[in-house]
């Protein structure tokens, strides 16, 4: 990677400056620098993550959370969660959250992206995005024996074959994977043979961004190899603001003010500044630069340069709860890596020797289930009526959100993932498994804003508004009903050779509405998929979003946002692959626009 010193960086004349060397930022920077025509600078607040075992080795997933490569954000206390704050990990290193996430590689439903386009964001539908999904990835086909043994089903034409991110199926699977499908099929959930091709309803074995040649994480730093010496990356650089000039009564971005080891510096860009700091930091940086809601900026002592009321609004994430079950103690279990020193040492040696064993794979048993699979028609109609009465959404956005309830058999509303292991839980003589249950289409919408007085080192206020107000009431009821379906999965006869009993919450509690609501509010976390805080405005323009369909910031020339924050509506998927596609598409648009000017 082209990491440079502070002296080398500030001596450069840049065509483009990219704020954030994360998932999207490294894609954009590398693609813009790829043909050697433009000089590109990247400012990353963290350091490097390559070479760290807690990043590279699949079986160590989640071990980097809370470390120095995690921003370690916390939400504001949530009234809908009984006053709790929730942890929001985000990557603080080159590669961003692609360096610390759980390596899940999937796409949303066709309808998710077509919905973005229906809001007035031309070019962002499924068909237009698909080439950019493919451009980011190289799919490695599984061996015939694994494909047949695990009944792996996929459409080979849906995958890319020459992108920087290597994706693959695992080479080994736990016996629980096959029983997972039998359990779901017995409950009326079909196996999905085209989970990568625009339809995510059903059960499948998922691919992961793991390079099968080395059995290591494949993440955004791979993109850096596309560029040469014209890509300059400065780590440990914290951006204070985008420099905005007034030229002929127009606001124009000309560079960035940042600190490095306590000293302030300025870097200028002759063509564009590209903000790729993620759904939490991107709106914060816009507000620190004077772009945002005048009331919020004034309270923080920031002079208003662009009145942009939606900066930091429209925050959406996936709500998640973890259901714990006691499992067959004879099954190889991820918890053994933490509680059995001999097992952990043997696994480490096996991985070192031939890249196999428990450290070489991660959970791959997935399903996305529509509401019609577990909700009565009366309940669906009542929730739909509640949704119709909601206010605060644009008519177009409200229509799309209502459709997900109205067409309750078409959308993967609840996600379930099963894995053997429930660390850090330990009970002598017992082993556990975890069923992750994740709400895909939340109605609750939150915000992220700077707090007064706004200082460089301060975190913004993250307020997702979990289960808050009438919108949150819909989310809470869906979570309660989907938790009951989770119980059905775990207790399905086809899963009995894996699950012995439900441990938490106890099986006897699921019929008690008040108990379940309290358990959900006490247990809810997030799936680390925040989106929407600098969303595309579509037909609503600056009153509905922060950027246009070319990702240009409303009211500012030569400034774009390129990351998950531009997503106007949450999708039914883990967002990683979509962020890569967004960045690939943005890179093409930027190069097109530059060529025309």
- Which residues are part of the catalytic machinery? 529, 574
Q: Do the beta carbons of residue 557 and residue 251 sit within 8 Å?
A: yes
Answer whether 460's CB lies under 8 Å from 450's CB: yes
**Is residue 489 within 8 Å of 187, Cβ to Cβ?**
yes
The length of the chain in residues reads 597
Are the C-beta atoms of 18 and 233 separated by less than 8 Å?
no
End-to-end CA distance of the chain: 31
CA distance 371 to 316: 20
CA 203 to each of CA 212, 366, 484: distance values in angstroms, whole numbers, following the listed order: 23, 6, 18
Cα dist. 433→31, 249, 361, 500 in Å? Answer: 42, 61, 16, 10
Contact 234, 110 (CB under 8 A): no
What's the rounded Cα separation, in Å, for the pair 59 and 337? 9
The owner of tokens 């775990």 is: 490
CA atoms of 98 and 55, how far apart (whole Å)? 9
Strand-strand pairing, 263-275 and 14-19: parallel
Distance in angstroms (rounded) separating the CA atoms of residues 367 and 180: 9
The verdict on whether residue 461 carries a ligand-binding annotation is no
* Cα 449 from Cα 459, distance rounded (Å): 9
Q: How many CB atoms lie within 10 A of CB 180?
A: 27
Six-digit token pair at 215?
A: 């059995």
Q: Cα–chain-centroid distance for residue 307?
A: 28
Among residues 75, 22, 81, the alpha carbon closest in space to that of 46 is found at: 22
In Å, the largest CA–CA distance within the chain is 74
Q: For residue 318, which phi and psi values (nearest 5 degrees)?
A: -90, 120
Question: Facing residues of 331 across strands?
Answer: none
Closest CA to 304 of 560, 568, 559, 556: 556
Beta bridge partners of 503: none
Question: What's the rounded Cα separation, in Å, for the pair 31 and 463?
Answer: 34
Residue 329, both tokens: 């103690």
Rg of the Cα atoms in the chain: 23
- Identify the burial level of 470 via C-beta atoms within 10 angstroms of its C-beta, where 0-12 means exposed, 13-18 middle and 19 or more buried: middle
Please give the structure tokens belonging to residue 213. 């040649």
CB within 8 A of 458, min separation 6: which ones? 450, 451
3-state secondary structure of 253: strand
Q: Rounded to an integer, what distance in angstroms lies between the CA atom of residue 164 and that of residue 525?
A: 32
Token pair for 290: 């004077």
Q: Residues annotated as binding site?
A: 239
Binding site for FAD: residue ranges? Answer: 239
């Amino acid at each position: 990677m082209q990491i440079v010193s502070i002296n080398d960086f500030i001596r450069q004349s840049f065509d483009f400056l990219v704020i954030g060397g994360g998932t999207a930022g490294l894609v954009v920077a590398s693609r813009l620098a790829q043909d050697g025509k433009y000089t590109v600078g990247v400012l990353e607040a963290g350091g490097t993550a390559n070479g760290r075992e807690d990043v590279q080795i699949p079986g160590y997933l989640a071990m980097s959370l809370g470390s120095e490569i995690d921003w370690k954000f916390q939400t504001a206390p949530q009234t809908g969660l009984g006053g709790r704050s929730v942890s929001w990990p985000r990557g603080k290193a080159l590669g961003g959250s692609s360096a610390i996430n759980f390596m899940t590689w999937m796409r949303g439903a066709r309808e998710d992206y077509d919905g973005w386009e229906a809001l007035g964001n031309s070019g962002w539908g499924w068909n237009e995005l698909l080439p950019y999904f493919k451009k980011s990835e190289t799919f490695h086909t599984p061996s015939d024996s694994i494909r047949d043994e695990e009944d792996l089903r996929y459409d080979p034409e849906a995958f890319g074959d020459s992108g920087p991110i290597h994706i693959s199926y695992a080479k080994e699977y736990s016996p629980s994977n096959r029983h997972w499908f039998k359990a779901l099929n017995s409950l009326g959930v079909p196996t999905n043979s085209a989970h990568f091709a625009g339809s995510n309803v059903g059960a499948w074995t998922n691919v992961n961004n793991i390079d099968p040649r080395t059995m290591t994480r494949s993440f955004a730093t791979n993109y850096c190899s596309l560029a040469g010496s014209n890509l300059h990356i400065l780590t440990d650089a914290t951006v204070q603001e985008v420099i905005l000039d007034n030229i002929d009564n127009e606001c124009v971005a000309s560079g960035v003010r940042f600190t490095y080891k306590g000293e302030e510096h300025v870097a200028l860009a002759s063509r564009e500044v590209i903000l790729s700091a993620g759904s939490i930091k991107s709106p914060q940086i816009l507000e620190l630069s004077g772009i945002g809601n005048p009331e919020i900026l004034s309270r923080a002592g920031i002079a208003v340069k662009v009145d942009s009321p939606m900066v930091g609004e429209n925050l959406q994430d996936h709500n998640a709860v973890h259901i714990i079950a006691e499992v067959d103690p004879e099954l190889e279990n991820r918890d053994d890596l933490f509680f059995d020193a001999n097992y952990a040492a043997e696994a480490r040696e096996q991985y070192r020797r031939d890249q196999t064993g428990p450290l070489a794979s991660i959970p791959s048993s997935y399903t996305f289930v529509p509401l019609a699979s577990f909700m009565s028609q009366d309940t669906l109609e009542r929730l739909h009526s509640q949704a119709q009465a909601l206010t605060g959404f644009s008519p177009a956005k409200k229509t799309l959100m209502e459709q997900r309830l109205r067409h309750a058999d078409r959308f993967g509303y609840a996600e379930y993932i099963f894995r053997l292991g429930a660390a850090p839980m330990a009970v002598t003589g017992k082993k556990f498994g975890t069923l992750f249950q994740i709400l895909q289409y939340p109605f609750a919408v939150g915000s992220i804003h700077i707090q007064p007085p706004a200082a460089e080192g301060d975190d913004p206020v993250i307020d997702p508004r979990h289960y808050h107000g009438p919108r949150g009431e819909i989310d809470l009821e869906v979570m309660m009903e989907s938790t009951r379906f989770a119980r059905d999965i775990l207790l399905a006869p086809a899963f009995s050779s894996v699950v012995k009993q439900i441990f938490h919450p106890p099986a006897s509690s699921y019929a008690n509405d008040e108990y379940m609501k309290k358990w959900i509010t006490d247990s809810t976390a997030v799936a680390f998929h925040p989106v929407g805080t600098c969303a595309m405005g579509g037909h609503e323009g600056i009153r509905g979003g922060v950027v246009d369909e070319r990702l240009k910031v409303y009211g500012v020339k030569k400034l774009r946002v390129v990351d998950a924050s531009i997503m106007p509506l949450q999708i039914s998927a883990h967002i990683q692959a979509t962020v890569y596609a967004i960045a690939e598409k943005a890179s093409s648009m930027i190069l097109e626009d530059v060529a025309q000017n």
